Amino acid sequence: MKRLVLNTIPYVLIIVCYGLVGEYFLFENKESYSIDRVTTLQQESETETYYCREILGNSLSNYKFQMLKKKQPTGVMVLGQSVTLQFRDFMFEPYQDDFYNTGLMARNVKDLNYVMDLIDQGDLNKPKLILLGVDISFFLEHTILDSVEWTRNYPEDRAISSKSHLKGIQRIFLNSKYRSTPTTNYGFGRAGMSGRGYRSDGSYRHKPDIERYLRDSTYNDGALITYLKNRTAPFIEPFLFSEQKKLQYFEFLERVEAMDIELILYVPPYSDVYFNQAIQDTMFNAYWKQFMGVQQELTTLGFNVIPFTTPSKIGLTDHYMVDAEHPGEVMCAMQLQRAIQQKRLEGDIIQSLTFSMVNEYGKLEYVIPISFMNDPIDQLLVKQTQKKV
Amino acid sequence: MKFNSIEFLIFLGVTFFVLWSVKRNLKVFNILLLIISYVFYAWWDYRFLFLIIFSSLIDYTVGYWIPKSQHKKALIGISLSVNLGLLMFFKYANFFIESFQDLLHQLNLQANYQTLSIILPVGISFYTFQTLSYSLDVYKGKIKPEKNLVAFLNYVSFFPQLVAGPIERATTFLPQFSRERIYNYPQAVAGLRLLLYGFFKKMVIADNIGIQVDAVYQNYDTNNGFSLYVASALFFVQLYADFSAYTDIARGVAKLLGFELVKNFKTPLFAKSFPEFWSRWHISLTNWFRDYLFIWLAGLNKKSSLWRIISTIILFVVIGFWHGANYTFIIFGLIHGLGFIPRILSRNNKQIRKALSFLNEHKVASIFSMLGTYSILSLTAVLFRSPNITTATAIFRSITQDFGSTLNQGLLSVLPIALGILTFEWITRDKKHPFYVENLHPYVRRTLYVVMIILILLYGYFGKEPFYYFQF
């Protein structure tokens, strides 16, 4: 047996060396920091930090849920998909320190109800105000987002999964990009270290888009229109509106109201470039009419709705969008502030929002359409450019 | 616990050292091995552990009493009813409920039977047949009953082959648990070699091909017939690499622990006819059905060729159905059964015999036979791979009516992998075992091992891809 062990050792050593080298790069890129550790460090940090892994994957609903449980906001909670990720804490002053944006944690109505269950059970604090994104995916008859309960059955943290580590190490060895460590150290995970990712308030910093704008003031609509034309995700046929899911959504809204939580329903915008083309598409158009029917019904029922718009309809340009479907933070803040100023949103908490920080940041010289540029690391970028809106 | 997991490698390492540390005490060795096998099985789902223990105890008891009893038929009937009853319930209950419901609908009758919420116990199709073969062999007087309960329980639940075979026979496998355990270095090395080859075939070949085949099958409505046909042809390579990898790993682990398991494959993708294919593919299953079903069935009318054809078709429909409760498998079996007709007819027809031997033996003709057989196998793979008849029909429609000329890029990317494994298997087709490298210079051999390890680390699939035959 000794002979077998001795003869096997060289092969085992190859595997061990491979693993150690890979783990070194994962550690250097702060990819192997567990979600538990990241959320603790983010909460404790006095400066803004970002979380986004590039090699191992984010296990996002896990991360968001752990952070939510640690933050336990009693002020404002943002719920919804990626379109809500630009709502930031300072937009909800005076509740900026009692805020969390859970964007991309709850992906379907079951998830939303689960969050309410946790509040009911006392596992989560009851927030005074919820801003909820009214995403078109909530009413789709068939969507992959319904396949899992993302919050209740959140994915395993990939930093503690041996298979994810093995896959990550493969990437490191096959792609030299991952073998170079970021020169900056602004957060956790390879992207987080370079300043792209989820802030401690749950919102997302679009680093490449900010840098692109600073570089050449251009706007990139992305590939959403191509997805629509090719009927690829998220436009997989049959792209049908579900009355049943609408009913479930409305039941959820009633539940929130019954819990005495103020509610703002945010119908996210599309870029003009995208929307003008998409509306010509028969499949999209048919769905859109029904979706707008929901918006109308919500308004009629007296819910606080920030209605659908495109940038041009509110006097902006597509430059205020990150891409075809994601509004930038400046546009989000403007939509929210205007809706309150125009008395379209009711509620004590809503009326108590002061927007003084938004106004202050808005006056800054270097605000760009998709960012207030108020993160500490934005100042470095600001110094490199003279561009302003 | 899957073979292709880090947990299994740790489990195997611990098992190896623990078992060999008690090699001098066979009793303790067997008890520890049994505990290890049950832990391995319970890792999947501990609830079904009771099922395997129950099945084993039934056959141990039946086997014990058969030689002593006047009611041998009743006893074997108990074994058959319990084992096949459990298999039918867990694997086929919903299929029969749905089929009955469909039949009533066809007859315009109202029916609303709820399907049952049943989880298929892992490996039930394999261990049921293994334990049954013991009772049947005792009943036929081929073997004497095993008195040692621990040895018998080990025979049914030996962890390397518990989940997906090969299906062992009591005549050859059971005595191994009563033999003195002697550590054998060449056997252990051969075991490690099989493990390496198995992991390589599973993780580098089968899983990478599988990703592309899955992508085409999931979007069968947007792929042309050419891509669907190539996907089906590649699926057979994937299935072979996957299943034979499992067998290699099982045999390798068994060798490491001092046991020998039967061969399950002999380069089946180079078969020149359907009968030859089945003599090379999943050999332990084919032999089981041959010995316990076909010989009895065909023996009911030995002189009639027509009856032999019918028996063969019944045999392959049953083999198809063994794979899963789905009409696709039944039709798959039916077509494979029909593929035996030329050989059956050749028994009484000189011209057919001559033609078949020409197709088998002539250098050029045999290559065409091989390609022809593989082409038809690829078509039947559509049935094996499709989740239902509707999908299979749609794929056949695409292949016959919308063949096209462009090939899916994903499939194109894995073609070299498939050709690579086929080339290697062709070169080693006449060797003693699938990964025959003993004749290579030690340095070359070691370099080959290192290259394979590096390829597994760099290109192996570390996702959640289980072995394909686990679902059966």
- Rg of chain A on CA atoms, in Å: 22
pLDDT at A384 over 80: no
Residues of B in contact with A11 (CB under 8 A): 449-450, 453
State how far the Cα of B204 lies from the Cα of B291, in Å rounded to an integer.
36
pLDDT at A251 over 90: yes
Give the integer Cα–Cα distance in Å for B132 and A389. Answer: 80
Reply yes or no on domain A60-153+206-383 having CATH 3.40.50.1110.
yes
pLDDT of B148: 93
Read off the pLDDT of each residue in A253-274 and give the average, rounded to a whole number: 96
Crossing angle of helices B327-338 and B363-385, rounded to 10°: 160
Q: Which of A7, A14, A163 sits opposite B453 (nearest CB)?
A: A14
Question: Is there a contact between B229 and B378 (Cβ–Cβ < 8 Å)?
Answer: yes
* Residue ranges per structural domain of chain A: 1-59+156-195, 60-153+206-383
pLDDT of B111: 65
Locate the chain A residue with the closest alpha carbon to B465. Answer: A163
A7 shares contact with chain B (CB less than 8 Å): yes
Residues in B touching A14 (Cβ below 8 Å): 450, 453-454
Q: Which of B183, B458, B460 sits opposite A1 (nearest CB)?
A: B183
Q: Quick check: A368 and A214 in contact, CB under 8 A?
A: yes
Residues of chain A with pLDDT > 90: what percent?
87
Tally A–B CB contacts below 8 A.
40
B20 interfacial to chain A (CB closer than 8 Å): yes
Q: What mean pLDDT do residues B364-385 have?
A: 94
Digit-coded pLDDT (tens) for B262-284: 999 999 999 999 999 999 999 99
Residue A187 three-state SS: strand
Q: How confident is the model at residue B295 (pLDDT cuts 50, 70, 90)?
A: very high
Answer whether B185 sits within 8 Å of A4, measured CB to CB: yes
Give residues with Cβ within 8 angstroms of B286, minimum separation 6: B278, B279, B319
What is residue B463's predicted lDDT score, i.e. its pLDDT? Answer: 73
pLDDT band at B290 (very low <50, low <70, confident <90, very high): very high
A1: chain B residues, CB-CB within 8 Å: 20, 183, 188
Interchain contact, A15 vs B453, CB within 8 Å: yes
Contact B462 A14 (CB under 8 A): no
Mean pLDDT of chain A: 94
How large is the average pLDDT for residues B20-42?
94
Distances (CA, A) of A31 to B390, B399, B463: 45, 46, 19
**Cβ pair A240, A142 in contact under 8 A:** yes
CA nearest neighbour of B85 among B114, B117, B49, B128? B128
Beta carbons within 8 Å of A78's beta carbon, 6+ residues apart: A84, A87, A99, A100, A101, A102, A103, A130, A131, A132, A133, A202
Contact B22, B28 (CB under 8 A): yes
Within 8 A of A15 by CB-CB distance, chain B residues are 453, 457
Query: Which residues of chain B lie closer than 8 angstroms to A162, CB-CB?
Result: 6
Q: Pick B449's closest partner by Cβ from A11, A163, A166.
A: A11
Among partner residues B450, B458, B463, which is closest to A173 by beta-carbon distance?
Answer: B458
- Average pLDDT, stretch B308-329? 92
pLDDT level of residue A389 (50, 70, 90 thresholds)? very low
Nearest partner of B86 among B113, B55, B50, B44, judged by Cα: B55
Instruction: With H, G, I as helix, E, B as strand and everything else as coil, classify residue A132.
Output: strand
Q: Are strands A262-266 and A304-306 parallel, antiparallel or unpaired?
A: parallel
C-alpha closest to that of B199 among B364, B4, B391, B58: B4
Output the DSSP codes for B97-133.
HHHHHHHHHHTT----PPPP--PPPTTHHHHHHHHHH
Residues in chain B: 472
Nearest CB to B189; choose among A4, A173, A174: A4
* Percent of chain B surpassing pLDDT 90: 71
Q: What is the mean pLDDT of residues A212-238?
A: 91
Q: Is-contact A184 A84, C-beta < 8 A?
A: no
CB–CB contact B450 A14 (8 Å): yes
Distance between CA A242 and CA A287 in Å, rounded?
10
pLDDT at A387 over 50: no
Q: Is the peptide bond before A327 cis (omega within 30 degrees of 0)?
A: no
The chain A residue lying nearest B455, using CA atoms, is A170
For B248-263, the pLDDT digits (tens) are 999 999 999 999 999 9
Tell me whether B457 touches chain A (CB under 8 Å).
yes
User: CA–CA distance from B330 to each of B121, B128, B278, B314, B373 (Å)?
Assistant: 21, 20, 16, 10, 20
Which tokens go with A377? 């690391």
Burial status of residue A266 (CB atoms within 10 A of its CB: 0-12, 13-18, 19 or more): buried
Contact yes or no for B189 and A7 at CB 8 A: yes
Question: Could A167 and B463 be called an inter-chain contact, meaning their C-beta atoms sit closer than 8 Å?
Answer: yes
User: Element (H or E) spanning A204, and its range?
Assistant: strand A204-205
Supply the pLDDT for residue B103: 79
Interface check for A15 against chain B (CB to CB < 8 A): the answer is yes
pLDDT over threshold 50, residue A388:
no
Alpha helices, H only, chain A:
2-28, 35-44, 60-71, 109-121, 162-174, 190-193, 207-216, 224-230, 243-258, 272-278, 282-300, 329-341, 348-352, 356-362, 378-383
**DSSP secondary structure letters along B416-471:** HHHHHHHHHHHHTTTSSSSS--TTS-HHHHHHHHHHHHHHHHHH---SS---GGGG
- Between positions 129 and 168 of A, the ones with CB within 8 A of B are 162-163, 166-167
With cut-offs at 50, 70 and 90, classify the pLDDT of residue B464: low
Lowest-pLDDT range of A370-374, B24-28, B109-113, B120-124: B109-113
**Interface contact flag, B464 A163, Cβ < 8 Å:** yes
Angle among Cα B157, B246, B372 to the nearest 5 degrees reads: 130
Chain A residues inside the 8 Å CB shell of B454: 14, 18
The two tokens of residue A187 are 């957060």
ipTM: 0.80
Residue A109 pLDDT more than 50? yes
Which pLDDT band, with edges at 50, 70 and 90, does B100 fall under? confident
Smallest Cβ distance to A15: which of B189, B457, B459? B457
**Structure tokens that stand for B444 in this block:** 């070359």
Tell me whether A233 touches chain B (CB under 8 Å): no
Q: Measured between beta carbons, which residues in chain A are less than 8 angstroms from residue B20?
A: 1
Query: Cβ of B462: how many Cβ atoms within 10 Å?
Result: 22
Amino acid occupying residue B380: T
List Cβ neighbours of B145 (8 Å cut-off, separation of 6 or more): B63, B64, B66, B67, B138
* DSSP 8-state assignment for residue A158: G
Q: Is B6 at the interface with chain A, CB within 8 A?
A: yes
What is the rounded average pLDDT of the residues A296-322?
A: 96
Task: Report which DSSP code applies to A51.
Answer: E
Q: Is B96 on the interface with A (CB under 8 A)?
A: no
Looking at residues B141-162, what average pLDDT do you find?
94
For the segment A158-164, the average pLDDT, to the nearest whole number, is: 92
Opening angle at CA A380, ends A379 and A386, nearest 5? 80
Q: Look at B453 and A166 and tell me if their CB atoms are within 8 Å.
A: no
pLDDT: which is higher, B467 or A26? A26
pLDDT over 90 at B437, yes or no: no
Residue B302 has pLDDT above 90, yes or no: no
Residue B117: pLDDT band by 50, 70, 90 thresholds? low
- How much of chain B exceeds pLDDT 70, in percent? 97
The Cα–Cα gap between B29 and A52 comes to 50
Is residue A163 within 8 A of residue A20, CB to CB? The reply is: no
| CA A389 from centroid of its chain's CA atoms | 25
3 state DSSP class of A105: coil
Q: What secondary structure letter does DSSP report for A128? A: S
Residue A308 has φ and ψ, to the nearest 5°, of: -60, 145
For residues B180 and A193, give the distance between their C-alpha atoms in angstroms, rounded to a whole number: 60
Quick one: pLDDT at residue B44? 84
Q: Distance from B330 to chain A by nearest Cα, in Å?
A: 31
Residues of A in contact with B183 (CB under 8 A): 1
pLDDT class for B465, splitting at 50, 70, 90? low
Q: Report CA-CA distances (Å) from A38 to A64, A103, A156.
A: 11, 18, 15
Neighbours of A297 (CB within 10 A): 13
CA distance B421 to B201: 8
Q: Average pLDDT, stretch A66-88?
A: 96
Over residues B344-367, the mean pLDDT reads 90
**pLDDT tens for residues B180-220?**
999 999 999 999 999 999 999 999 999 999 999 999 999 89
Given strand A262-266, what is the order of strands in its sheet?
Answer: A99-101, A76-79, A129-133, A262-266, A304-306
How far, in Å, CA of A51 to CA of A329, rounded? 18
Best of B14, B200, B458, B462 to substitute, by most chain A Cβ atoms within 10 angstroms, is B462
Structure tokens belonging to residue B344: 């059956």
